[in-house]
């Protein structure tokens, strides 16, 4: 009787494995479309039979491992590693990268993984010596292992942005890397300032608050535009004599969020100017106009640039 159950299990297990692997290399619904067979009709008997065998194996006295038991474990672990690796590759590159290059649907590999581990349950579970397992040492070891595995997963979640960028931009320049790290708008703006102002100039920058957390932070800005001198203005007035400075940044802000009562766009006061140099979104020169800066002409306009103060 047990032999018949065993054979039936392996039949349905094999069939469900075949069905799920086919759908992993084609697409979900392939089997039912071309054969009319619902894959669940193969998996459900396999699950039921494995539970039956689990009960029978618990009762069995002789629980020695067979040669094919180890092969089963190896196969299951291989499928699991393949699934994890393909998912990571998809995450590090772009969605469908694996399917478009290898014609494998990583998500559909999950079913073969689960089915293969199903067979391990009734083979290996009854062999576990629960008396030995529930010792302080084993509990500690299992706890520590789970912490390590969980931590590795947390490291992966934390750092995947870096690996994704490294893999997709192996030859990136210093500028590209800095754009990724500190934000393209801000970085382009600092390079624009460096290109369009002399090194000994003084520049008035916005107050240190959102939406200018970087360009309003004097200590942070100086890393990029040193040795130029800087000072913070207030939102609605310069706070200082404009004659002490050569330029004022025209700055919409580098973040979408703002910190009340601050709002986008700066300076929010008129400036007697020689002219205004504008910056394109990619940091290149975006044109120049002569004359004073009037705030009313720039309300709600997403512009960046430099106002050349009239002395």
Partner 1 sequence: MLLIFGMLLVLIFGFLLSVILVEEMHPMERLGISYLLGFGIFTLLMFCYSTLGIKITLISTLTALGICITATLAFFKVFKRKISINLSGFIKSLFYLSRLEKIIVSVIAGLVVASFTISIYFPVYIWDALALYDFRAKIIAQIGFYTQIANNYVWFGGYPLFTSLSHTLVYIFGGNNPQFLYSSMYVSYIFVFYGALRQIVNRKVSLISTLLLATTPVFFDHSTFAYTNLPYSIFLSMGSIYIYVWLVKNKPFGYLILAAVMTGLSTWTRSTEPFWIINLIVLAILLLYKIKKYLLPLVVYLSTFLLIREPWNIVNNYILTDRKALIASNIEPVTSSYISIISRIPEWNRIVEIGVYIYKYIVVSWYPFLFLFLLCLLLSVKNFFHRYGSFFVLIIILYFCLLVFGTYLFTFSNVSWNEIPDSARRMSMFFMPLMIFYAGMVFDTFSSSTNFKKTRKIK
81 lines the binding site for partner 1 (CB under 8 A) = no
Q: Answer for the pair 207, 232: CB distance below 8 angstroms, yes or no.
A: yes
88 lines the binding site for partner 1 (CB under 8 A) = no
Query: Is 126 or 183 the residue whose CB approaches partner 1 more closely?
Result: 183
**Given 37, 152, 289, 299, the residue binding partner 1 (CB under 8 A):** 152
CA distance 62 to 250: 82
Residue with tokens 């559909």: 108
The torsion region of residue 135 among left (phi > 0), alpha (psi -120 to 50) and beta comes to beta
Contact set for partner 1, span 185-244 (CB under 8 A): 217-220, 222-224, 226
For residue 160, the minimal CB distance to partner 1 (Å) is 11
Binding-site size, partner 1 (CB under 8 A) = 31
142 lines the binding site for partner 1 (CB under 8 A) = no
294 lines the binding site for partner 1 (CB under 8 A) = no
Residue 37's alpha-carbon distances to 11, 26, 105, 153, 250, in angstroms, are 16, 16, 20, 38, 66
**Given 7, 133, 142, 155, the residue binding partner 1 (CB under 8 A):** 155
Q: Answer for the pair 182, 211: CB distance below 8 angstroms, yes or no.
A: no
CA distance 19 to 270: 72
For residue 172, the minimal CB distance to partner 1 (Å) is 8
289 lines the binding site for partner 1 (CB under 8 A) = no
259 lines the binding site for partner 1 (CB under 8 A) = no
60 lines the binding site for partner 1 (CB under 8 A) = no
Task: Give the other-Cβ count within 10 Å of 229's Cβ.
Answer: 16
Q: Binding residues for partner 1, per CB under 8 A?
A: 135-137, 140, 143-144, 147-148, 150-152, 154-155, 158-159, 162-163, 166, 174, 177-178, 181-182, 217-220, 222-224, 226
């Amino acid at each position: 009787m047990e032999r018949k159950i065993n054979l039936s299990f392996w039949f349905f297990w094999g069939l469900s494995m075949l069905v799920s692997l086919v759908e992993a290399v084609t697409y979900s619904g392939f089997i039912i479309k071309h054969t009319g067979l619902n894959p669940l009709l193969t998996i459900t008997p396999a699950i039921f039979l494995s539970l039956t065998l689990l009960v029978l194996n618990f009762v069995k006295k002789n629980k020695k491992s067979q040669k094919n038991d180890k092969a089963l474990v190896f196969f299951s672990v291989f499928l699991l590693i393949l699934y994890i690796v393909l998912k990571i590759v998809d995450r590090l590159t772009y969605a469908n990268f694996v399917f478009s290059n290898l014609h494998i649907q990583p998500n559909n590999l999950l079913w073969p993984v689960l089915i293969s581990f199903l067979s391990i349950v009734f083979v290996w579970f009854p062999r576990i010596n629960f008396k030995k397992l529930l010792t302080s040492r084993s509990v500690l070891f299992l706890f520590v292992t789970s912490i390590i595995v969980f931590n590795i997963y947390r490291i992966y979640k934390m750092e995947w942005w870096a690996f994704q960028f490294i893999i997709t931009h192996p030859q990136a320049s210093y500028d590209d890397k800095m754009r990724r790290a500190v934000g393209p708008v801000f970085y382009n703006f600092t390079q624009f300032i460096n290109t369009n102002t002399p090194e000994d100039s003084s520049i008035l920058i916005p107050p240190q608050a959102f939406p200018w957390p970087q360009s309003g932070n004097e200590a942070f800005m100086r890393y990029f535009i040193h040795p130029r001198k800087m000072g913070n203005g207030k939102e609605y007035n310069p706070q200082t004599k404009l004659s002490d400075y050569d330029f004022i940044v025209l700055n919409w802000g580098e973040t979408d969020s703002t910190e009340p009562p601050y709002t986008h766009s700066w300076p929010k006061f008129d400036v007697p100017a020689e002219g205004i140099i504008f910056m394109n979104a990619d940091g290149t020169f975006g044109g120049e106009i002569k004359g004073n800066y009037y705030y009313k002409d720039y309300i709600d306009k997403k512009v960046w640039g430099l106002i050349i103060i009239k002395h």
